[in-house]
Structure 1
Amino acid sequence: MSQTVYADFDVQEAINVAKPGEVVHIPAGRYQGNFIVSKPITLQGEEGTELVGVRDNAALRIENTANVTVENITLSGKNKAIVASTVDGLELRKLQIKDVHTGVHIQRSKNVRIHEINVTGTEGHYSKRGNGVAVFKSEDITVEGNTIKQVQDGIYVEEVKHIVVQHNKVASSRYGTHFMYTSDAEALFNTYVHNVTGLMIMMTTDILLKNNTIANHVDFNGYGMLLYDVQQAEIKHNTIKNNRTGIAMQKSSTIQIETNDFQMNQTAIEGTKASDDTMASNNNFTGNILTARSDQQGFQLINNYYDDYSGIDLKGNGIGDIPYVAMSSFGQWMVRQPVYQYFVASPSVLLLTSLDQQINKTEKNMLVDHTPKLAMKHVQEKNKMNVLQMLLGLFLALSSLWLWKRGMTE
């Protein structure tokens, strides 16, 4: 039975008497109870409205209905803030969720939009926390513009068809976003910082990872992105910096890594049993200790910029005249024995890597870029702008000189 701290307003009673399509306005106040919605209505709070779950039940349950909106409410409680089951058409917006084990739990639902919510988990180890937003066995989901921290997984997705995760920020958690057994997924314009791993993608097909910032994942078992048993992934226009490993691929196929910036990672790209059609092209590699490493299967490197490339361009076409050898002997050892990473910046390892690159190894199982770029794309664009500015300045100077001479003759 629902209870409130205000005798003159009963939240559950207001829900029960509301007609389908109506808006239930909840005044400011702290309302304790386990509230249930099973009809198409809108719950709308105001500044200071808080629903507090009691015992181990969710603060708010939404089930077996359609077209429900919940907005402008703070939720807290011991277990879950919101649980939605079998809902077609659900919008959660402008919610504050705090001091809960799990923020939002969605299952067997479709046409769901979760946006502009803040989730702050509890203190303690990741294993004792729940997820910020979790979606199971659902379809047509949008998770957008949310801020999530101190949880197990910021956004957990399992057996979902068509989901867009965009413009979210996840920090200080285990995984920023975790995809499992999912298809037709997109992760766009998200920021993942100081988690164990930014993006964990497992047994997933057809996924686009674009325009994300993934930084500062430096734990021993941490990655910027980890793809395990993934097919058909596009990874484009991401900034991947200061991670132990930028992108790791394991048992994955048809992975396209294109036009990303890899900055200051211990290892930029790592592949284990990656398919031959996996390709890293037109990326910028700057400040990384190791550019790439793999097992004997390897993957393709094409038209990338490497700041440690020592070749020259006699043809003047912007492409190095000798191949770039990315694989190092030490990198191979690190794949077999990850504990070796602790020696990655030692003088002996740096010398070994330099010697590997000076020897033009082009065996089939090596990571070799036969067309390395000598300038990053943004540097090339800046140079073009400089040339245009110089030509414009020259034109103005000549025009001024012509006008001055004309004035003198007159």
Structure 2
Amino acid sequence: MMMLLLSLPHGAVMASSGHRDLIPLQPMIDRTAPGEVIELASGRYSGPVTIDKNITIQGDPTVIVVNAEATSTIMIRSDGVKLSGFTIEHDTNEQTAAIQVEGKNSEITDLHIQTQGYGMIIRNSSQATIQRNNITWAGSDSASSGQKGNGIDLYNSHDSFIEANEITGMRDGIYLENSRKSIVQNNRLLHTRYGIHCMYIDGSSVMDNTGEENMTGAMIMGVKNTVISGNSFRKQSTNVHSQGILLYDVHQSSIHNNVVEGNRVGMNIAESSGNEIHDNAVLRNFVGIQLVLAEANEFTRNQLVSNVIEASALDSPNNVLMENYWDSFQGLDLNRDGISEISYAINPFYEQLVSRNSAYQLFFQSPGMVFLSELFTEGREQWTTDKFPRMSMDTESDLHKSVENATDSNVVWLFGLILLGMATFIIIYMGVLRK
């Protein structure tokens, strides 16, 4: 493989702003033979460009490719293209991207992308490797999600590997549609609509990703034979539809060892069946688990701690709930095997009441609402029930530390309130003595 070291050439063109020179990048690409490497020197280069042969372009963050035209900044139409290390400023709000890939076996690594459109668009491709890139929305702070593009957007692109990218402020962080056998792993998603959005994918994995302050951490829809594991989605609570993980029309998949904390809804499972949902930590959400038209799922060994509403179930028959830990449940363990002899039934009273008249949400957890809920026993034999709830948390679980942290923070909060109360009492008492 040959390497071309390209420094600042003569004849650089003037940028449209008139303030900086832009170095033409397309002529460099045109002069490069297949298999060669272009090593870009520090400077600002002009896009858009098209790559139609298997070359490598690399640089460092001081290498900046700029484009304000209504087309993608770098269009890849060949197999085996590699991009690495440099910065792209995609300054157009059209349905275009900093990078558009239409070839196979592409490798896109360590790029810094600032975009007013999409970050990357991958179409009708396979075996793309997308690693350690930073993609940030560079448009108006007031732009709605509909005015933004996705960070990484795949359609009909299979066997892709998307790892260790950080995506901030885009519409959806990572979007996959009609894409089989892809791996989405160890990415960080911030301030997006959906951190990870999967539609109609098969045989894929979404593992060890983290998301904070998105509208929904992971929106998994129309999916089968997929693994959702080891992810952490926290603080999805700014929207009435905010959720940690939404499973909609998901079948024969495994959802395990995830942490959903501080969301409006921790896990929303709708119109889904045949899934194994186990060993997840559901912490400090408004609603921990929500089942709607969900049938024949196995829900086992999950830990629900400090949720306002631990679970709700509506029209969700034949789900198997076993050995979950519900921190508000008062069980009875006569044989000391760690499993309660008393089952835990999810009371649908509040869910049914609110579905008929949303105004009743105002009375949530009021004494009257709690009293009515305890009186409601209609159709109890059909309520979703954990027949063998755990009496304590699973101390051997990798999630135990997260659960303990949630519990410890509640203790700290309670201790703070006690101190505040004592201080208030002392102030009042000393005021009385002075009088």
Q: Which residue of 2 aligns with 1:252?
A: 272
- Distance of 1:119 and 1:360 partners within structure 2: 52
2:153 alignment counterpart: 134
1:188 aligns with 2:218: no
1:62 pairs with one of 57, 67, 76? 76
Cα offset for 1:232?
1.4
Cα 1:86–1:225 shift into 2, 3 Å: same
User: SS at 2:38's partner residue?
Assistant: strand
Write the deviation string for residues 14-38 of structure 1: whole angstroms up to 9, x where unpaired.
1111111111111111112201111
Equivalent of 2:289 in 269, 290, 306: 269
| Cα deviation digits, residues 353-393 of structure 1 (max 9, x gap) | 5566xx79850x202111111110127999xxxxxxxxxxx
Does 1:89 find its partner at 2:108?
no
**Unmatched 5+ residue regions in structure 2?**
1-11, 401-435
Judge which range, 15-24 or 294-303, deviates more. 294-303
Shift of 1:296: 2.9
Structure 1 counterpart of 2:230: 211
Higher strand share: 1
Q: Kindly tell me: are residues 334 and 113 of structure 1, through their superposed partners in 2, closer, same or farther at Cα, counting changes over 3 Å?
A: farther
Checking the alignment, whether the CA contact within 8 Å between 1:362 and 1:368 is kept in structure 2 is: no
Q: Give the superposed CA RMSD.
A: 2.4
**Deviation per CA, 1:212-233, whole angstroms, max 9, x where unpaired?**
1011111201111112222112
Determine if the alignment matches structure 1 residue 29 to structure 2 residue 49.
Answer: no
In the TM superposition, residue 182 of structure 1 has moved relative to its aligned partner by 1.1
More divergent stretch after superposition (290-299 vs 168-177): 290-299
1:316 aligns with 2:336: yes
What corresponds to 1:393 in structure 2?
none
1:13 matched to 2:27? The reply is yes
Counterpart amino acid of 1:307?
D
Match of 2:416 in 1: none
Q: Which residue of structure 2 lines up, in the alignment, with residue 101 of structure 1?
A: 117
Q: Does 1:111 align with 2:127?
A: yes
CA offsets per residue over residues 45-99 of structure 1, 9 Å max, x none? 1240011112211111101x21111001111121444343431101111011114
Contact 1:171 1:192 in 2 (8 A): yes
Write the distance in 2 (CA, Å) between the matches of 1:66 and 1:196. 36
Q: Which residue of 2 aligns with 1:143?
A: 162
Deviation by residue 1:219-257 (Cα, 9 ceiling, x = unmatched): 201111112222112110011111111111222111211
Structure 1 length-normalised TM: 0.86
CA distance in 2, matches of 1:165, 1:48: 28
Q: 1-side partners of 2:172 and 2:323: how far apart?
A: 35
Q: Aligned partners of 1:374 and 1:8: how far apart in 2?
A: 67
CA distance in 2, matches of 1:345, 1:89: 55
CA distance in 2, matches of 1:311, 1:24: 67
Residues 31, 337 of structure 1: alpha-carbon distance in 2 compared, 3 angstrom cutoff? farther
Choose the corresponding residue for 1:369, options 382, 386, 403. Answer: 386
**Deviation (angstroms), 1:9:** 5.3
Once residues 169 and 197 of structure 1 are traced to their aligned partners in structure 2, the CA distance between those partners, rounded to angstroms, is 13
Q: What is the aligned counterpart of 1:378 among 386, 395, 401?
A: 395
Letter in structure 1 aligned against 2:198? F
Preserved CA contact (<8 Å) 1:306 1:372: yes
Q: How far 1:300 moved relative to its partner? A: 2.5
User: 1:138: Cα distance to partner?
Assistant: 0.8
Q: SS where residue 331 of structure 1 aligns?
A: helix
Deviates more, 1:206-215 or 1:331-340: 331-340
Distance 1:233 1:344 in 2: 34
Matched residue, 1:398: none
1:336-363 Cα offsets, whole Å, 9 max, x none, are: 556655543444334445566xx79850
Quick one: structure 1 residues 378 and 11, their matched pair in 2 at CA, closer, same or farther if it must change by over 3 Å?
same
| 1:168–1:189 CA contact under 8 A, matched in 2 | yes
Residues 1:125 and 2:144 are matched in the alignment? yes
Match of 1:227 in 2: 247
Paired position in structure 2 for 1:72 = 85
Residue equivalent to 1:176: 195
* Residues 164, 51 of structure 1: alpha-carbon distance in 2 compared, 3 angstrom cutoff: same
